[in-house]
Amino acid sequence: MYAGVYLHLPFCARRCAYCDFCTLQLDETSLKKYHAALKSEIELFSDGAAVDTLYFGGGSPSLYPLDLLQELLDTLRSRFRFELREATLEANPWELTFERLERWKKLGVNRLSVGLQSSDGEILKTVNRPVPPDLFERLEMAVDLFDNVNFDFILGLPGENRKNVENNLKLIERLKPAHISYYMFDSDHETDLMASVKNDIIELPDKDTLEKLHDFIVLSLKELGLTRYEISSWSKGRMSLHNLKYWKSGDYKGFGVSAGSHEGTTRSVNCDSLDQYIDSIVAGKRPLAYIRENTPLEELFETLFMGLRLIDGLTLSAEIFPADLLERSVERIASVLGEFLVVNGYRLSLNDYGLDMSRLVFERLVGIMEEMESLLPSRATVEKQKNT
Ligand code: SF4
């Protein structure tokens, strides 16, 4: 089975007000130090696995110097068995120049994920994300040179209204990207934008407006020939192979600050402090925030959290999970969340109502997991029993 590799390239030209990712202001010194540490992490902690998807995420990977990107690829190729079907690079519209697009292609990048968020200059100015004046031409060049391009949008930034959503959809209609990600703005995170909202400096659109706009987007993307295959993702026959590994609980290995990995039933996440990351690598240690061997119950629920995001849902395999756990979990889930789900044996998917209410479904799923966990012996007890 093939694994995926994720590389976190955290540098950005500026900080967007809604962003809660692990990012750093680009400067020469930090970049050099980070690059050296990232290469060492790959050299020290790779396992030679067969890899068919690669994802450069960030941050703004499109800002990363091209010669250094080449070095990272060479390092990865020397440590993994690369049989790449998909190599994605996240790009900011400002870096979509002919020279860069050509060089990324030559490096082997075959999919671009462009962070648009909105086509409306005023909305983007409000969230400290100015847009290039020749945005359309830059995007046009990207879709001309790459046949697999994703546009990322966020629904619900300040100033959002029907008119600008229509403009986003017109842009999609004209440029015909192979993939669209349309996320709902998440107001749960502590960001500069949310601080302004709490201080009554900026107002967010109301919930009813957003629900109507979301319905309009779902309908319009369908009319444009895009198929919704995940809660926030639509494609024209080009689903994101790398992201499918996340949603299908496949194996992936992450490198760089804050990068996560899933190998078998082990999940780990790297620390998000640049200094701590570099110090760990220099000391020859994995730069981990945590590493955890999932219990079958934890693995089952994590598989559900990810798999239920897919429109087709998932089948919980009796070859992976103990039969009694499967039976009890599916029975409990069906009884608590029945109105939101289609359940057929161990096959589960969200119905239309469940898709609309997915946030609530996932919250309730956490509740069910905690309830079932409380009926099991604690981790500490299990560890003690293993050692006696
Ligand atoms: S460019 Fe992307 S990663 Fe960087 S601050 Fe903006 S949203 Fe965050």
The pLDDT of residue 277 = 97
At 350 the pLDDT is 98
88 closest CA partner among 119, 113, 117, 118: 113
Which sequence spans correspond to the domains of the chain? 3-246, 310-388
The ligand 1 atom nearest the CA atom of 15: 5
Superfamily for the 3-246 domain: tm_1862 like domain (3.80.30.20)
Residue ranges, the chain, pLDDT below 70: 377-388
Q: Any idea what the Cα angle at residue 372 is, between residues 371 and 374, rounded to 5°?
A: 65
The helix (run of H) or strand (run of E) holding residue 292 is strand 288-293
Q: Could you tell me the maximum CA-CA distance found in the chain, to the nearest angstrom?
A: 68
Instruction: Count how many Cα atoms sit within 13 Å of the Cα of residue 148 in the half-sphere of its side chain.
Output: 16
pLDDT the model gives residue 205: 95
Residue type, 336: V
Q: 10 in ligand 1 pocket by Cβ < 6 Å?
A: no
| pLDDT given for residue 384 in this prediction | 58
Residue whose Cα lies nearest atom 2 of ligand 1: it is 59
**Percent of the chain whose pLDDT exceeds 70:** 97
* Cα(156) to centroid(ligand 1), Å: 17
pLDDT of residue 382: 55
- How many A from CA of 385 to the centre of ligand 1? 46
The structure tokens 């075959």 sit at 110
CB 164 within 8 A of CB 212: no
- Answer whether 57 contacts ligand 1 (Cβ < 6 A): no
E strand or H helix at 73, and its extent? Answer: helix 66-79
Q: What is the DSSP string of 16-55?
A: -TT--S--EE--HHHHHHHHHHHHHHHHHH----EEEEEE
Report pLDDT for 380: 58
What span, in angstroms and rounded, lies between the C-alpha atoms of 254 and 8?
8
Count of CB atoms within 10 A of residue 203's CB? 10
Which atom of ligand 1 has the smallest separation from the CA of 58? 3
Helix (H, G, I), strand (E, B) or coil at 161: coil
Note the pLDDT tens digit of each residue in 31-59.
999 999 999 999 999 999 999 999 999 99
C-alpha 94 – ligand 1 centre gap (Å): 12
Closest ligand 1 atom to residue 19 Cα is 8
Q: Which atom of ligand 1 is nearest to the CA of 59?
A: 3
The predicted pLDDT at position 21 comes to 87
Q: 55, 125, 54, 65: which is closest to 95 by C-alpha?
A: 65
CA dihedral sign of residues 356, 347, 244, 48: positive
Single out the residue of 262, 181, 268 nearest to residue 4, CA to CA.
Answer: 262
